[in-house]
Amino acid sequence: MTARVLVVDDIMSNVKLLEAKLAAEYFEVITACNGEQALARVTAELPDIILLDVMMPGMDGFEVCRRVKANPKSTHIPIIMVTALDQPTDRVTGLEAGADDFLTKPVDDMALFARVRSLVRMKTMTDELRMREETGQSMGLADAGETLVEPDPTGRILIVEDRPGSVAWFRAGLEPKNEVADVSNFEEVLVRARGGDFDLIVVSLGIRAFDGLRLCSHLRSLAEARNTPILVLVSEGETRKLAQALDMGVNDYLMRPVDRNELLARVRTQLRKKRYADKMRHNMHLSLEMAITDQLTGLHNRRYMARHLDTLMNNATPAKPIPFLIMDIDYFKSVNDTYGHDSGDEVLREFAGRIGTNIRGIDLACRYGGEEFVVVMPDTDVGYAFTVAERLRQSIESVPFVVSRVTSKLKVTASIGIASSPGTPDKPDALLHRADQALYRAKREGRNRVVAEAA
């Protein structure tokens, strides 16, 4: 996997060395020699990943990292700090500034490239979510994106370890802010993960009961756990095992012996990222729902109905007719004129609710526009469709509508037209036209009735 890498270091020999190594692995490299230049490159180039030195004149790497992560346009770009600083407090400071990893020089090339590829893969998935979110925003269907800056996220964490002392140590570090569970049985881990109950899974690759890497592979193959971050524990010197873990989709790692503050920093980072990704997925689903749903009534909209009807009629046969009901609230304009549009909206919502209670789960109810509604009934005899339409008409007529700003209950009626597609070579437009004609007949004949197209 290739990517555009921004290398930031004030020592030119370090820049050239990293540039040569990355170019040999087919990465595209851009460079900056100080903090201000790095921020300018991030804005102009939007790299896929940043390799950032800490000790630079003027603005140091920690401040660069904070600024990149505070900007909604660059908050998703992964940052690896590559520096000579080697104290646990330095790593924690970098992670708390928003860095995704903190590697101490001299860096093992295998570990570096595995980490770069791992973070780029994860960014690619995030980019897809961000593009869909931006589409939703451009359509007015989602709020503007957020940053990854959340001071102290908490979550539900599953510890996979069979050493009681190690489990107790992790619990002491993570509780009571986080909800922590521990498991040491392979199958039980998968069962718990399938429940989708956890925000982070911590796996010890030194577990004695089974192969920890195999467990990570299984977790990544589970649909329910695919988006749950995994943090693995590895012993110092296990570079190949770590590279394998990163290649299969593990999100982060800790080297033994584990520093408690680093544990908390890396856990917070993963929880923060999951919260960010979950929010984007939620916005994406919300955008999709809003794109196909009428916001006033909660029914599907006309656009979705048209696509759904196309699909149904493409698969229709004479043995599987498709009745189409179109209904119109009688004299609805007088409701708006007399009581106001707020009251008219209440009537529309209640009308939609009564449609929902009188049709089957396989039927599709939509607001067609204004006070017109439609119901598509796949694989249904037209006689049964007429019975449903008559039941719906009666339920509207027999129970007056309650409107909050009106002291008396409103009597509402509806006219309904029915047409049925006998299958190919019928077309959706022709079916809609015939149903419309039946509706007009219902209105001409006095309203508050159901009329089916002439046989």
Question: Among this protein's residues, is 371 annotated catalytic?
Answer: yes
Find tokens 């007015």 and name the residue: 140
Residue 202 near residue 212, CB atoms below 8 Å: no
Q: Which 3 state secondary structure label does DSSP give 324?
A: strand
**CATH superfamily to which 302-452 belongs:** Reverse transcriptase/Diguanylate cyclase domain (3.30.70.270)
Question: pLDDT digit string (tens) for 374-413?
Answer: 999 988 889 999 999 999 999 999 999 999 888 888 999 9
Per-residue model confidence (pLDDT) at position 86? 81
Contact 228, 274 (CB under 8 A): yes
Question: Mean pLDDT throughout 113-124?
Answer: 88
Which CATH architecture fits 146-284?
Answer: 3-Layer(aba) Sandwich (3.40)
Asked if residue 453 lies in contact with residue 437, where contact means CB atoms within 8 angstroms, the answer is yes
| Domains 1-107 and 302-452 belong to one CATH topology | no
Q: What is the pLDDT of residues 42-83, one digit of tens each?
A: 999 999 999 999 999 999 999 999 999 999 889 989 999 998
Q: Among 133, 238, 346, 371, which one carries the catalytic annotation?
A: 371
At residue 152, does pLDDT exceed 70? yes
Structure-token pair, residue 25:
């692995």
Domain boundaries, the chain: 1-107, 146-284, 302-452
Average pLDDT value over all residues in the chain: 89
Q: In what order do the strands lie in the sheet with 49-52?
A: 28-32, 4-8, 49-52, 79-83, 101-104
Look at residues 178, 196, 184 and name the one whose alpha carbon lies nearest to residue 271.
178
Q: With the C-alpha atoms ordered 340, 342, 345, 347, is the resulting torsion angle positive or negative?
A: negative
pTM to 2 decimals? 0.69
Burial class (CB in 10 A: 0-12, 13-18, 19+), 246: buried
Q: Checking DSSP bridges between strand 79-83 and strand 252-256, what pairing results, if any?
A: unpaired
What CATH fold (topology level) applies to the domain 1-107?
A: Rossmann fold (3.40.50)
**Residue at 430: amino acid letter:** A
